[in-house]
A and B are shown apart, each in its own frame.
Chain A
Amino acid sequence: MLTHVVHSGEVSIKVMDLTFAYNGDYIVAGENLELKGPGLVTLLGPNGAGKTTFFKLLLGVLKPMRGRVYLNGEDVTGNPLKAGVHASLVPQLASVRRDLPVTGYELIEMALRSRGVRNPERRERVKSALSLVGAADSAGRKISSMSGGQLQRILIARAIAAETPILVMDEPFSGVDPRGREAIAKVIEELGANKLVIVSTHDPILTLNKSKLVVVFNRGVKGVGTPDEVYRLDLLRAAYGPGVLSIEKCLHVLS
């Protein structure tokens, strides 16, 4: 059983004895983790490490076999309606349907509508979130005609508009071109100033130097700490397996 406690502020995520498996294949087993914000936390792990499942457990979308999840002290285990009060999600691009005739603006507005936010506040929040991510110009377009970067900004704006103290971002750089990645990384860094932002990625270069904490994850937490503490060959190999990895070549980023 691993226990990691990192304190640095007001917002908190606490996981106690978290256990979950798909058909006997354990993603987490007796996991304990506490994160306090605000700040940017990078969840680093290879594809198939279970990062998305871990996020689903944090957000109550999946119910663990054992253990509890607390967001800002409230037990949200297996209850996404409760978790949504504290946290919002930027899902992977691939998990959002793009064939429906919906504009970027509507995508954000619908989410606020379902949270019971009424006009004119709803309009103001949409406008403000779009402006924050620099997507005001593309918001009137249908999501089916947007590039990966444009849609990712809209999804980030949608999460920001919810005004929750915790933001969970699942692979926000996937499917985005290099220029778009830089812009999104900048937005994420700014968000980390006021919120607890957890970003999952298998390619940490964009967030590593901006992160207050890095969680190395592969079927459980393999290490937690500052980038300097955690971004080490032994921990990376524990997460990614032995052998020469392109990710090891990125250690110079920290120096």
Chain B
Amino acid sequence: MYVDPRWVIVVVGSAATFSSLSPLVHARRFNFFAASLPHSALFSVALGYLLSATLGGHPTAWAVVLSIPLSCLLVFFIHRGASEDNATSAFVAFTVSGSVATVYYVLTKFPVRVNLWSYILGDPLLAGWEDVWTVVAVGAAMVTVSAFTYYKHVLIGLDREFSTLSGIRASLHDYVLAILLTLSSVSLLRVVGFAIEHIVILLPAAVAARVARGAREFYILSILSALAASSAGLLLSVQLNVAPAAAFGFALLALYIASLLRG
């Protein structure tokens, strides 16, 4: 069985990235946002290709530039009093419609050099060295920022009003978390894939929350569970010739079921 080191780096790196953000999402009840992220990421990536083909520049750079204001707009509307459910529904409606329209336009009007299917299904086995460096850079940044801001996010999640009295700018942290999630989501969409991205964001914390004995363990176990699931998923995918992202998702699900059975 041949395992390319690039596959290992992108799979393990993206697992570390998302799983380091996962406890923050869980603590902040940002699940609604995480669930909408793949839609906005796909929309941004598709638009990025369109702009890249017409104006030049790197498609992922365009996607990042486009996606951050989109995500911040959702947070802004929620801060202005819109309910999370309603704002997310409208946001998903806009991004899904936009991504379908843009993907259709790109596929029919432009000679697409990169297969957009890899963004939908995720394919780390196609990763080149450029992808590897992207994952390493994004992963290092996300793990560092999440580790430094983790306790603040937990405190906001526990009791928002108390956290502001303790000197935390809770609204600013809402935007910071939204931007971190958006950057990870857009940058690593091709590795993880649209279809299971939100699972990779949500499940590591769900597993860790069931077994952790404290906040510190919660963060560490979230990352460890994703690292274990991603490694197992990669090996399974190579061995059994199944989609790597799917194997990763199933491995995470197996861990979650195991945590449920543990009681």
> Chain A: residues with CB nearer than 8 A to chain B?
56, 59, 61, 80-81, 83-84, 87-89, 91, 95-97, 99-103, 106-107, 110-111, 113-116, 142, 158, 162
Q: What are 16 A-B contacts defined by CB distance under 8 Å?
A: A61-B164, A89-B161, A95-B161, A96-B158, A100-B209, A101-B213, A101-B217, A102-B215, A103-B213, A110-B154, A110-B215, A111-B166, A114-B151, A114-B152, A114-B163, A114-B167
With A106-B216, A110-B155, A114-B152: A56-B166 Cβ-Cβ less than 8 Å: no
In the docked arrangement, what's the CA distance between A69 and B199, Å?
46
Q: In the bound complex, do residue A81 and residue B214 qualify as a contact, i.e. CB atoms below 8 Å apart? A: no
In the docked arrangement, what's the CA distance between A102 and B163, Å?
15
Of the candidates B27, B151, B159, B209, the one whose C-beta lies within 8 Å of that of A96 is: B159
Of the candidates B159, B166, B212, B218, the one whose C-beta lies within 8 Å of that of A115 is: B166
In the docked arrangement, what's the CA distance between A113 and B208, Å?
23
Residue of A nearest to B155 (CB): A110
Of the candidates B151, B161, B163, B218, the one whose C-beta lies within 8 Å of that of A56 is: B161
In the docked arrangement, what's the CA distance between A142 and B214, Å?
7
Q: In the bound complex, do residue B167 and residue A100 qualify as a contact, i.e. CB atoms below 8 Å apart? A: no
Q: Which residues of A contact B215 (CB under 8 A)?
A: 100-103, 106, 110
When each residue 200-243 of chain B gets 1 if its CB lies under 8 Å from chain A and 0 otherwise, what string results? 00000000110011111110000000000000000000000000
Q: Which residues of A contact B168 (CB under 8 A)?
A: 114
Q: Which residues of B contact A97 (CB under 8 A)?
A: 157-159
Q: In the bound complex, do residue A81 and residue B164 qualify as a contact, i.e. CB atoms below 8 Å apart? A: yes
Of the candidates B158, B165, B218, the one whose C-beta lies within 8 Å of that of A80 is: B165
Query: In chain B, residues 150-190, which have Cβ atoms closer than 8 Å to a Cβ of chain A?
Result: 151-152, 154-155, 157-159, 161-169
Query: In chain B, residues 5-53, which have Cβ atoms closer than 8 Å to a Cβ of chain A?
Result: 26-27
Residue of A nearest to B152 (CB): A114
Residue of B nearest to A80 (CB): B164
Q: Which residues of A contact B164 (CB under 8 A)?
A: 61, 80-81, 84
Number of interface residues of B (CB under 8 A): 27
Q: In the bound complex, do residue A103 and residue B165 qualify as a contact, i.e. CB atoms below 8 Å apart? A: no
Residue of A nearest to B212 (CB): A101
Q: Which 6 A-B pairs have the closest CB atoms?
A: A84-B165, A80-B164, A101-B212, A114-B166, A103-B214, A102-B215
Nearest chain B CB to A135's CB is how many angstroms away? 16
Residue of A nearest to B158 (CB): A97
Q: Which residues of B contact A83 (CB under 8 A)?
A: 165
Q: In the bound complex, do residue A61 and residue B155 qualify as a contact, i.e. CB atoms below 8 Å apart? A: no
With A100-B215, A101-B214, A142-B214: A81-B169 Cβ-Cβ less than 8 Å: yes
Residue of A nearest to B163 (CB): A114
Q: Which residues of B contact A106 (CB under 8 A)?
A: 214-216
With A56-B161, A115-B167, A116-B167: A110-B151 Cβ-Cβ less than 8 Å: yes
Residue among A87, A106, A110, A162 with most chain B CB within 10 A: A110
Q: In the bound complex, do residue A59 and residue B158 qualify as a contact, i.e. CB atoms below 8 Å apart? A: no
Residue of B nearest to A158 (CB): B162
Q: In the bound complex, do residue A59 and residue B165 qualify as a contact, i.e. CB atoms below 8 Å apart? A: yes
Q: Which residues of B contact A81 (CB under 8 A)?
A: 164-165, 167, 169
In the docked arrangement, what's the CA distance between A88 and B161, Å?
11
Q: Which residues of A contact B154 (CB under 8 A)?
A: 100, 102, 110
In the docked arrangement, what's the CA distance between A81 and B26, Å?
25
In the docked arrangement, what's the CA distance between A84 and B216, Å?
26
Nearest chain A CB to B67's CB is how many angstroms away? 28
When each residue 63-92 of chain B gets 1 if its CB lies under 8 Å from chain A and 0 otherwise, what string results? 000000000000000000000000000000
Nearest chain B CB to A62's CB is how many angstroms away? 9
In the docked arrangement, what's the CA distance between A232 and B152, Å?
45
Of the candidates A56, A100, A115, the one whose C-beta lies within 8 Å of that of B158 is: A100
Residue of A nearest to B29 (CB): A97
A89-B162, A106-B216, A114-B166 given; name 10 further pairs at CB < 8 Å: A56-B161, A61-B161, A61-B165, A81-B169, A84-B166, A84-B167, A96-B158, A107-B158, A110-B154, A110-B155
